[in-house]
Each structure stands twice: as structure tokens, then as C-alpha cells.
Amino acid sequence: MIIVVLAAAASFIPGVPRLELEPEVILAIVVPPLLYSATRGASFSAFGANLRAIVTLGVLLVVLTAGVLGLVTTWLLPTLGAAAAFTLGSVLAPPDTITTVSHGDEIGLPKRVTSILTGESLVNDATALTLFALALGVAEGEQASFGAGALDLVRNAGLGLAIGAGLALPTLFLRKRLGNPTLETALVLLLPFTAYLLAEEAHASGIIAVVAAAFSVSVNLALDPKHQYPGGYRTRLQEEAFWPVLDFLLETFVFAYIGLQLKFVLEDLAESHDPGLTRTLVAAGVLLAVAIVFRLVTVYVLFGRWQLKALMIKNRSERDLYFRQEQQARQERRARRGGQPLDPPTQKETLLVGWTGMRGILTLAAAAAIPETVPGRDAIQAIALFVTLGTLLIQGTTVGWLARKLKFDLGAEHAETEELRSKARQIVLAVDGDRAEIDAHYDAQRAALGKAVMERQLTEDIAREAIEDLDLRQAAQHTGDKWGGRP
């Protein structure tokens, strides 16, 4: 948010030119690597265990939000036209929950909430961009319908999934044969761009393609012994340092780019008779309020329906039986899929998920990607900027305070984490082998951790922590040997 404010202030400096980039370039450069980076740290098993909540928020809620904000826009700014109004609705629909998740430990988020918000952020981008492309096509004169849009969403998701998973296979094959950390990192860096562009060229979901590729590559490289190779630890350590830097640079670019447009967008709105500057600012304030309130209310409704059947059972013994059956079903799902399944959410969890509706990179990038031929482009970009800033200011600065006020009892969760870490250490120490063969011994330890994940003894995040520790130890041992000593 500070970057946007500074860039917006800089746009008013006399002589600062207006920076204009091709819309397709912005989405193609910014979205794929950011999404890949977010996905590579996510837990696949947690994603599957919480799939119901993730789809509810990432698909259904995004569609409802885009529709409601589009309708409100047609009422506030009727001269934009319905197509442009719903284009704005799709731009404002997806929250950037991944930013909140990245600070989950500092904020005090329960793991279940973190898993849901991570999955939502990965899915809602695909849903919103599909709606965005549909609405944008109508705004530019193409013919479309709701039924066609729904079919497009399913087709695009399926084809994008196939493309992403298909590209992961040659990436895994080539990576362990390059024998150079720089080339291996470059190969993986090219993957999200290739998956996104190839999927978009095939009229599929580039977002889903990137997510599928990221899950396939990251899970296999970290946990599957078949994809371990000599020197792989060097590449993993290099990537752990590389991706956060790239994330920061790309996020800074998008926020700065949008901020630098502020002066020129306001000037264009001031010169236009309709909608005009004042009307646009009023619309931005109303849409900000609607976006915040609608998410909060709808999350309560969507999550609350899971408990509706139980609440309608008046007989206490029958209600207790229902809850026992639901608990047994959840335990069976956990045994099949692993991870932490979503129980009927508590009021605290529902409130926290509902409040994490900050708009971010995708909203700004999509707004910047709207062509000049779309009616009301300046108004759409200005509203997207003000709504993003408003949610960051109102929700982004208070979500940590809210989490602390709700006083989640994380004692059992922390105890379980420490127990799993202790188990991971025991698994590593139990590996036999010739300790003189440094690389072979570490590879055996990593293989044991991967096997433990497959057998549901460890979670992915704990295994990855342990593997990163092994990578560091292996690198330190090689460094010590190189300089004639042991660390």
C-alpha cells in the first residue's frame, strides 16, 4: 500500500510521463510467476482436504461477488453499460488472500483457515479471469451468454489442468539432467510463463495451468525420491532465495504502475462529462462498502448452510447422532486424503475468513489490462485502485488485530506441529547408511521423509521444513570439506 501511495504522489510531479503498457503484457508478465510462487509453497493434501470450502469461496463466492458488484455498478454508473459494469465486477471480485496467509504465523491464523485462504487464492484468480475475459469480450462487441460462460469455465479449467500437468513432466525430466543450479532455476522460471501462454493460446485457463504445473513440480521435486538427483539441494536452496525476491519486484511493479496512473486517470475523469470525477469517486466508495459487507455476509451464509441441517433437528439425541456421523465421515475423509479437513466452521473462523477480503495484485493487473476501446476504462481503473487501497487500509490493517481479539486456542495445533517435527527428526536419524557418502546419506533421509508423507505419517509442510534443513546441512558440510574443515 505504501508503494501505491508513493507512486500516486509521484504521478503529480510535473513532467512525469504517463506509462502505458500493452494490456496482455501486464497479465502475461505479472500473474504467472506470482501464482507459481504462491502455489509452490502450498500443501496439496491440505488443498484436497479442504476442497469443499475452497471451491465454495474460490468459485461460487467470486461469481456471486462479480454479479452483485456488476449490478451495483449499473445502478451507480448506468452510462458505462452492462458489459463494462460486469467487467468491473469481475475485476473487483477476487480477494488477494495469499498476502494474509504469508503472515499467518505472525497474525495467529489457525492452520485450517490458512489452508482455506491459500486454496481460495489459487482458485479465485482463475474464476475471476474467466469472468473477466467473458465480460471484456462482450464489452468489445462479442456475443456471449451465461450458459456459454459456465461451459467455458469448466472447459478452460479442464484443459488448463491438462496443459499444466503435461508441461510438468518434461520439466521434471530435464531438470535433473541439466546439472547446473542456474539452468535448473531458469527452466523452472520459464515453466509458469510457458504454461500460461500455451493455455491462453489454446483458449484455456492459464491460471489453472500454472497452478497444476506448480503443484506437480514442487511436490515431486521435494517429496518423490524418483525426482531426487545429485546437487538438487543447491537448486532448492537457490530457489528459496530467488522466488521471494521476484515476488517483491513484481508486486512492486504492479503497485507502482497503477499508482503512476492516478493523476492521468483523474484528469481524464475530470474532463469527461459522464461519469465524471465526483460520480466515480462516490461509486468507488459504495462498491468498497458493498465488497466488504457482501463477502462477510455471504461467507456466513455459505459456511452456515453446512450446519443448517443440524440446527433444524429439534430432538437433541438425533442431533447428537447427526454430529457423531458427521465427525466419523470427516475422519474417514482425512484418512483417505490426509491434511486437516474442514469441520463445520466455528463463528470465529467464519468471521476471520469473511474479513480477509483485501483486493490486490490481480485486481490491479486486470484493471491495467483493460484496452482503451472499452467504455469507461478510466473509471474502471480508478475504482479498482480506490477499492484496492480501501480494502488494504480497512481490512489489511485490522485482520491481525481481529485474529488476536478472537483468541484462537492454538495450543493443540502447536503441540501437534512439534510432535510432527519430532517425528520428522526421528525418521531422519533412523536412516542407516554409510555416513562417509554424504550425498547418498542425505538423499536417503529425504527419501524417508517423502515416504512418510505418502504413508500419512507426516504432513507436506513439516516434511518440506525438514528437507530444507537437510539441504542446508548438506551445503554446509560440502562447504566445510571444501575449506578443510567441518561446520
369-407 burial code (b ≥16 CB/10 A, e <16): bbeeebebbbbbbbbbbbbbbbbbebbbeebeebbeebe
Q: Kindly state whether residue 315 falls inside one of the protein's structural domains.
A: yes
CA distances from 263 to 13, 371, 375 (A): 9, 19, 19
Please tell me whether residues 26 and 174 are part of one structural domain.
yes
Residues 155 and 10 placed together within one structural domain of the fold: yes
Rg of the chain taking only CA atoms, in angstroms? 24
Residues 424 and 306 in one domain: no
Residue 253: inside a domain: yes
Structural domain containing residue 470: 412-479
Residues 437 and 324 occupy one common structural domain = no
Give yes or no: residues 377 and 420 share one domain.
Answer: no
CA distances from residue 369 to 30, 154, 316 in whole angstroms, order as listed? 11, 24, 56
CB-count exposure of residue 216 (10 Å: 0-12, 13-18, 19+):
buried
Q: Tell me if 95 sits within 8 A of 291, measured CB to CB.
A: no
Residue 487 placed within a domain: no
The domain boundary residue, chosen from 408, 435, 467: 408
The Cα 439–Cα 417 span in angstroms is 28
For 81, 406, 459, 461, 466, the CA distances from 219, given in Å and listed in that order, are 45, 34, 12, 11, 14
Co-location of 403 and 417 in the same domain: no
Assigned domain for 484 exists: no
Angle, vertex CA 246, rays to CA 5 and CA 352, nearest 5: 60
Q: Which of 384, 408, 432 represents a domain boundary (last residue)?
A: 408
Q: Could you say which of 350, 378, 408 is where a domain stops? A: 408
Report the alpha-carbon distance of residue 63 to residue 242 in Å, rounded: 35
CATH classification at residue 388: 1.20.1530
* 105 lies in the same domain as 154: yes
Packing angle between helix 377-391 and helix 361-368, nearest 10 degrees?
Answer: 170
State the pLDDT at residue 9. Answer: 85
Q: Which residues does the chain have with pLDDT short of 50?
A: 310, 314, 319, 335-342, 487
pLDDT at position 120: 86
What is the residue whose three cell numbers read 518434461? 170
Predicted pLDDT of residue 102? 63
Looking at the structure, do residues 367 and 355 belong to the same domain, yes or no?
A: yes
Could you tell me if 394 and 418 lie in one domain?
A: no
Identify whether residues 402 and 447 lie together within a single domain. Answer: no
Report yes or no on 485 lying in a domain.
no
* Cβ atoms 19, 414 nearer than 8 A: no
Residue 199 in any domain: the answer is yes
Let me know if residue 486 belongs to a domain.
no
Q: Are residues 322 and 178 in the same domain?
A: yes
Query: How many domains does the chain contain in total?
Result: 2
176-198 b/e (C-beta count within 10 Å ≥ 16 → b) = bebeebeebbebbbebbbbbbeb
Burial of 417 (0-12, 13-18, 19+ CB in 10 A): middle
Indicate whether 294 and 333 sit together in one domain: yes
Note the pTM of the prediction, 2 decimals. 0.78
Question: What is the Cα–Cα distance from 2 to 11, expressed in whole angstroms?
Answer: 14
The contacts of residue 136 (CB under 8 Å, 6+ apart) are 87, 370, 371, 374
pLDDT value at position 75?
A: 93
Residue 394 lies in a domain: yes
